[in-house]
Amino acid sequence: MKPILSISLLSGGRNKGELKKCLDSLVPVMDQISSELIVVDTGCDEEARAIIEKYTNHIVDFTWCGDFAKARNAGLKEVKGEWFLYIDDDEAFVDVSELVEFFRSGEYKQYGQACYYQRNYVDRQGRRYQDAWVSRMIKMSPEVHFVDRIHEYLTPINGANRLLPTVWVDHYGYVYDTPEEKEQHKQRNMKLLEEEMEANPANLRIRAHLANEYRAAGNFDKLVEICEDTLKHLKKEKSSHYNSWRQCFYQGKLMALICLERFDEALDYFQTVISDKGLDDLGWASLCSMGVGIYYRRQEYEKCIKYCQEYIQVYDKYGGELKKIPACPTFTQDVFNFSGRNNVYCIYMACFLKQGDTSALKKYFWKLGWGDTRFTIYESFLPDIMEAFSQLPFEEEFIPIAQKLISDNLVHDLTLKVLKKQIQERGEEALYPLARIFSEIESEHYYIWYLKVYHAARENKHIQLEEAYRRLFRKLEDVLELENRIFEMADDYGIALNEVINEVPFDQWRNGVDAFCEKHKPDQIRVKKVFLDRHCREGEIRYDYFLVKAAEAEAVHTENVFGYQMIRQRIQEFADKSVEFYRRFYRPEAFEGEQEMIPASCRLALRLQNVLEAEKAGNIAAFRECITGAIGVFRPMDDALHNFTKQYVEMRQNQLKSEDRSALDEMQILARQVKQQCRKFIDAGEKETARGILQQLKTLVPGDPDLEELESLCVE
């Protein structure tokens, strides 16, 4: 019995998992429709071949020659069915209900072809994709065959076309594991297409596919070149069929000029081609969707709005779906794609916002397809919204919009980034209006609670302010990184920060203090200490821990501190505060022996106390031994200890020099007194006594000329 449907699968067996998934997706079709499956094997290994043989025995061996049409025709020659469907081994049907019903109901007898969607994914997770109609099913006739070496297609096609909008195949053929694999695939396609175009320069379909490959490869100079060359060929052709091709290459060139940032040239070109009377709705809308971006960049908002409205009118007319496939689907088929539509919506809203009008925002914001994995927004849309929120009078409708921006996972991070930037750049002028809006939304992010603090303070809502402080300090690990304004407002409004801080989990507080003190230098830490000193009391563990880390930071950063005594004071304060703090939480035996249980910073502090005791006692040997044992115990302090040692050595050297000068002065005084006494002995005739004293004095003040003179008097 002649089957209704013949299915032909082209497979090289490269990916066994995708091959099996493809074959499995065909089973529901073959189970419900009289069918046959023909597989064209272009180089499968034994494992892939074994998989195929579980589904069909009708396998055609084909030696790959770089020509897809020849490979397809090899399978087509074996076909016996009334209709023919072809598929690749990296595609898989998802829901075939409408396809099956198309044949089982007999509806297929009214048509000559049928199309379904190919869902082209750009990631392995299947989150982002682009849908495209593909003509893969045709009523068989003796003349039907494949043409073109690449992007092959069936011809001739006779009869009406039936679109099957609920039928699609998942296609991962454009997802690559490495950049090299992606580049190799592009180069292969471009090479085959360029060879085909050289052999058949009048083939518009090949030209359109090559233009699309240039777009995908980012080779926009080549895209301009092929579009201009093709438009020359189409210049004299006036039929509606050729108009469809012409507008495709209009779009290609305009897209390339925009991507090359040749905006003045792009504007001139847009104004020229938009006046072509041969444009159909889809071509017109597609060009409008690109033109709005040009006018928006030039801040020509009225014209931008005009062409946005033109696009939206066509989009609404067709319900955002192609009702038929254009003669040239390249570029034009993307006219209603998700990202392109959203770009127009975003630009449209932004243009109204720039003019102080929020009506478009309230209407189209909710039409952007929130929650869809394909969701995209125009690059400047969020900054435009934040600018509008900060400048326009407050409206209640702003709150749900802000809530959506913060709660949506796809734009959450970017929204916060833009929000912070707007406030940083415009300061108080933007802070209050943005805080007015975002203080009303639900969020666990610390920055929203920062805005809630600010707004409650401005509105003098003490209860809300106190709660906002509590939530803010619990949300943010490094609360000390908050700007000084937060601490100043606590002073101004009488918020007891010590109570707020004491509710923060200690681990969270400790991690934040550690990060802050490691990141900042002492002068910046001292600023925060001033605030905390006003709110906290010694004996509170979180405040005391901050004081320990602040003292540690002072001790660590001694490179620019002049004077040994200042460095010593910092070392002393760190050692005393650290030991005192940790003794509150560890048993006495933890501070004995190897002391492994206490933190390294405290172990160092204990050693530094010994260092300072040795220094105070003037025991240089003990000092040297203790400081040597301290280095390496707590690495962040090592540079400071080396500096401390250097300063100590210089201090001792200066001290010794001072002691030597003092002893010399005393010796000189003593020598003068002895010499006077010797002169008296000489005058009294006691020369031997004087000579003995002079001999001893010479060893204490050698080279003294007075001694030689006195000795000569003793001889006389």
Nearest alpha-carbon partner for 564 in 660, 670, 651: 651
pLDDT of residue 229: 93
Q: Which amino acid is at 288?
A: C
Question: Across 130-144, 320-334, 623-637, which has the greatest mean pLDDT?
Answer: 130-144
Measured between alpha carbons, how far is 142 from 258 in angstroms, rounded to an integer? 46
Residues 342 and 339: their CA atoms lie apart, in Å, by 5
Provide the pLDDT for residue 669. Answer: 63
pLDDT of res. 55? 95
For residue 673, name the pLDDT band (cuts at 50, 70, 90): low
Encode pLDDT of 115-158 as tens digits: 999 998 888 887 788 888 899 999 999 999 999 888 888 989 89
Q: How far is CA 377 from CA 313, 369, 370, in A?
A: 20, 10, 10
Q: Given a cut of 90, is residue 653 above it in pLDDT?
A: no
Higher pLDDT, 405 or 658: 405
Give the residue with greater pLDDT, 667 vs 377. Answer: 377
Average pLDDT over residues 604-623: 88
pLDDT of residue 440: 95
> What pLDDT shows up at residue 671?
64
pLDDT band at 480, cuts 50/70/90? very high
Q: Which two tokens stand for residue 236?
A: 């004299």
Say what the pLDDT of residue 174 is.
81
Q: Which residue has the higher pLDDT, 330 or 226?
A: 226
Q: What is the mean pLDDT of the chain?
A: 89
Q: What is the DSSP-derived secondary structure letter of residue 397?
A: T
Over residues 459-470, the mean pLDDT reads 92
Indicate the pTM of the whole model.
0.78
pLDDT tens digit string along 419-440?
999 999 998 899 999 999 999 9
Q: Is the pLDDT of residue 694 over 80?
A: no
Residue 470 has a pLDDT of 93
Residue 13 pLDDT more than 90? no
pLDDT at 97 over 90: yes
pLDDT at 666 over 70: no
Contact between 144 and 84 under an 8 Å Cβ cutoff? The reply is yes
Confidence of residue 567 (pLDDT cuts 50, 70, 90): confident
Please tell me the predicted confidence (pLDDT) of residue 603: 94
The type of residue at 431 is L
Pairwise CA distance, residues 387 & 434, whole Å: 9
CA 352 – CA 358 distance, rounded (Å): 6
pLDDT at 710: 75
User: With 60 as the cut, is the pLDDT of residue 664 above it?
Assistant: no
pLDDT band at residue 291, thresholds of 50, 70 and 90?
very high
- pLDDT, average across residues 1-29: 93
Residue whose token pair is 């005084």: 669
Q: Give pLDDT, residue 662.
A: 57
Burial letters 143-179, b for 16+ CB under 10 A, else e: ebebebbbbbbbeeeeeebbbbeebbbbbbeebbeee
Please report which confidence band the pLDDT of residue 241 belongs to, taking 50, 70 and 90 as the band edges: confident
Residue 553 pLDDT > 90: yes
Question: Taking the mean position of all CA atoms in its chain, how far away is CA 531?
Answer: 34
Find out whether 549 and 514 touch, Cβ atoms under 8 Å. yes
Question: In the predicted model, is pLDDT for residue 711 greater than 80?
Answer: no
List the structure tokens of 546. 């901050």
Mean pLDDT of the 8-18 span: 91
pLDDT value of residue 50? 94
Check residue 52 and give its pLDDT: 95
Query: Between 327 and 584, whose confidence is greater?
Result: 584
In the predicted model, is pLDDT for residue 387 greater than 90? yes
What is the model's pLDDT at position 383?
A: 96
Q: Which residues contact 398 (CB under 8 A, 6 or more apart)?
A: 389, 437
**Rounded average pLDDT over 397-419:** 95
CA–CA separation, 161 vs 116, rounded Å? Answer: 11
Residue 564 pLDDT? 84
State what percent of residues in the chain have pLDDT above 70: 94
Mean pLDDT confidence for 653-658: 68
Question: DSSP string covering 20-49, please?
Answer: HHHHHHHHHHHHHS-EEEEEEESS--HHHH
Range of lowest pLDDT (36-45, 285-294, 487-496): 487-496
Q: Is the pLDDT of residue 185 over 70?
A: yes
CB 238 within 8 A of CB 183: no
Confidence of residue 674 (pLDDT cuts 50, 70, 90): low
Give the residue from 418, 425, 400, 416 showing the smallest Cα distance to 450: 416
Say whether 114 sits in a helix, a strand or coil: strand
